[in-house]
Structure 1
């Protein structure tokens, strides 16, 4: 949730999470899923990192075990995970294609005896992951992004490689051992300083370990992809589309620099690795992409947010279930994430966050601001204020590199928080007042007109991508989004009569 403030330094970027109430805009992993997260390998989302050549990182077989037993995913774990990603998405044709592709890949893998089950998740995020038990998961957002069968096969082959290489179990073993060593040094040997240093070092080691696993799975996945008869260059095409999607969401045209502790290698570097792996197998054009079947399978699937969980329409955010809406100032692009609505300007100098926070019965809104913001609020800046006709409180906070305006607003029994950050010492109050002042109860007529978006496959009437992109029911950069959805570069000519994906209501 704090990604909107990630560049604000260690001061303003921190805040306390609500005590118990779940953010209603999107389902999220609960605390009860913490154990499940240890054995879950998430791969296709917007992750970054660095390192091209996989290192041989393994846990020696003769080393003492700390897990006590092999981990597996129970039915309860599966149910929790599916619920945290919006439940299963019902798209029989798409699920049948994913299952058929998986069966074909397994026969070409190093473990053709392994059993796999694919679940399609009702989430707009681009993600896929695997459990050691052989359960594979892909979101509808990922399925919508892929352009042909070989691309989705590349994602599934990568996840299958994680299972056959026992990556999740190896990472869990390393994490638990690192925790054990740090605890022994700190508590048993009574050396907290060294224990803390070892814990910090282990974070880097685990991050590096995870990046190496991703690269190893990339290489193994490309080999399996080719052995199954699919185009091995499909992996590079999908990762390129993912990179472009990250850039679109960032609003800057660039995916940004990787975090040195990120668990995934930089997508651009992964593209280079899988491209080299594919070239070692053969020249472009080998294998099948089965594009026609893929487009037929994804025709009609949902795209983007479920209106019931809040939707972004240009600069406007609307949430029918909460009955609220607001408009962001000019220059901001906003996104409805799992835990909050986040926004940024193209150059990244201004950012905003909207979320729901916990408030005790009778707690004043000034106290809510203080309890949900770890940095200091400027003396004398906290004041009660009526905001869009509702009880509210506002405050100012200055970090090392950013200046923050904060508001807590009570609507009925719910308290919402609105934060705007400006880089440097400039107070963003004028834009902040316009934004907070736009918060209002949702007009029932507007709520009724909200329709879910979906993918529609249409035949190109001409070679012009601009012409077909005008059918896209998105207000934010429709041409760029059309190109990314169809794996096309800027200036590419369409093939008349061939099918392409567009987003429609």
Structure 2
């Protein structure tokens, strides 16, 4: 958990340093053909990838390894899972042989991130997160993701996208600066934004269709793409932050739209079950894979958030489910009427905490509500902000030389202050014994003893909705019965 997330709660203001970082991320996203994963993922700003990365045909030649190293570091490092790595490499080689460019070479990297994402670089580097690998239920599903990414490279989508964006920027700049017509320049920028979004969506559809064809030619179940996208849609719906599908300007079409497309493409090839799903081998390859948050970067255990690296912990009030994202800890109640956000913010030495709140909040703050106080023994400032549809309680707290912000929102005019006070009062240093006992979660493949999914779901070490998460993790629908003796994925500590 670093920085903070704008958009989950209205009113958040990005400091200049963070705005610059997100702008850099947008430029990187134009070069990366990021595809399969959670739509809210922001690409790291530290990475710059050449638009015209050299093409490779050698067995293991990889140019621009400096960019690769930066990218891997930005996503938490590379997962050391030799069996999983070998299996993904084997799948990739099989797909390449069946594809339109069997002369190309590719290298797969498993990123140490619990989010569900995959992307490709023009030079043939493919990236999948361990979160994506854990979500897939069989070989054909992860092969569908890799085939989609290979299609982006084969079709030169990243380069074409970058060329379109640079051309639009040049036209807009000429009109604004040379012709001295800022109004028309602004209109052209808006038109280019829509055109780029449409172009990116068309690229995703094109890669989806090409990926399904390659999947089938390689002998895998062509319906694996639809199953994986269905699992992605279901797991997104389980997120406690209530993340929604992307809007019309997102680079990815809505997941249901993509499911319909890949299902039609698979039906044109043949009936379900013609290709192999190779489920048993896949389960063997992912058994023991790390799952969810890396505890060193913060972990959720029930209603408690623990971050050994920052040395802090807190507990949210009853009724809240929380998740640790790349930018912040987010929480919501089941009905969505209350939300919370926790993040770390920059502050100048000696800067009053009331100023920190004002500097990071766009909406008006009730001046009479600003109060300096001590919270759990730490210097803090708290305030009230009332928007049109939400009422907010805000706090900035100094702990261990760092400044943290805690925000709770309640829909309507209800003041969330009682729950807010309990929450901020729980912020405290991590106890040494608690930090030592925090172990990463991992995937365990185990045989079912009964037909009832609740038996295995009861062993899931997840913060909430264990049955729903078990079903999604194994590609099962609600009401499904297990096959005694058959193996399934669960998440354990």
TM-score by length of 2: 0.92
Query: Residue 414 of structure 2 corresponds to which residue in structure 1?
Result: 426
Query: Residue 452 of structure 1 corresponds to which residue in structure 2?
Result: 440
8 Å CA contact 1:30–1:84 kept in 2: the answer is: no
Alignment root-mean-square deviation, CA: 2.2
Q: Residues 356 and 7 (structure 1 numbering): CA distance in 2 closer, same or farther, change over 3 Å?
A: closer
Query: Residue 477 of structure 1 corresponds to which residue in structure 2?
Result: 465
1:7 shift after superposition: 6.4
1:70 to 33, 49, 52: 52
Q: Distance in 2 between matches of 1:417 and 1:375?
A: 16
The number of equivalent residue pairs is 475
Q: Distance in 2 between matches of 1:192 and 1:378?
A: 37
Q: Distance in 2 between matches of 1:106 and 1:146?
A: 20
1:5 shift after superposition: 4.3
Q: Distance in 2 between matches of 1:389 and 1:441?
A: 11
Tell me which of the two structures has the higher relative contact order, counting C-alpha pairs closer than 8 angstroms and 6 or more residues apart.
Answer: 1
- Is residue 2:396 matched to residue 1:408? yes
Query: Residue 58 of structure 2 corresponds to which residue in structure 1?
Result: none
8 Å CA contact 1:33–1:81 kept in 2: the answer is: no
Query: Residue 375 of structure 1 corresponds to which residue in structure 2?
Result: 363
Please list every run of 5 or more consecutive structure 2 residues that lacks an aligned counterpart in the other structure: 41-48, 55-62
The 3-state SS of whatever aligns with 2:88 is: helix
Query: Residue 45 of structure 1 corresponds to which residue in structure 2?
Result: 37
Query: Residue 309 of structure 1 corresponds to which residue in structure 2?
Result: 297
Q: Distance in 2 between matches of 1:122 and 1:332?
A: 27
- Please give the per-residue CA displacement for 1:138-192, whole angstroms capped at 9, x wherever unaligned: 0000000001100000000000000011111111011111111111111111111
Q: Residues 69 and 142 (structure 1 numbering): CA distance in 2 closer, same or farther, change over 3 Å?
A: closer
1:374 shift after superposition: 2.7
Q: Which range moved further: 127-136 or 492-501?
A: 492-501
8 Å CA contact 1:36–1:77 kept in 2: the answer is: no
1:71 shift after superposition: 4.0
Residues 163-174 of structure 1 aligned to structure 2 (within 5 Å): 163-174=153-164
Please list every run of 5 or more consecutive structure 1 residues that lacks an aligned counterpart in the other structure: 23-28, 49-66
1:349 shift after superposition: 2.0
1:295 to 279, 283, 291: 283
Q: Distance in 1 between matches of 2:37 and 2:465?
A: 21
TM-score by length of 1: 0.90
Query: Residue 245 of structure 1 corresponds to which residue in structure 2?
Result: 235
Residues 104-503 of structure 1 aligned to structure 2 (within 5 Å): 104-250=94-240, 256-503=244-491
Query: Residue 52 of structure 1 corresponds to which residue in structure 2?
Result: none
The 3-state SS of whatever aligns with 1:249 is: coil
1:432 shift after superposition: 1.2
Q: Distance in 1 between matches of 2:119 and 2:51?
A: 22
Residues 9-24 of structure 1 aligned to structure 2 (within 5 Å): 12=11, 14-17=12-15, 19=17
Q: Residues 167 and 388 (structure 1 numbering): CA distance in 2 closer, same or farther, change over 3 Å?
A: same
The 3-state SS of whatever aligns with 1:41 is: coil
8 Å CA contact 1:154–1:235 kept in 2: the answer is: yes
- Please give the per-residue CA displacement for 1:236-275, whole angstroms capped at 9, x wherever unaligned: 11001000100000466xx745312111111111111111
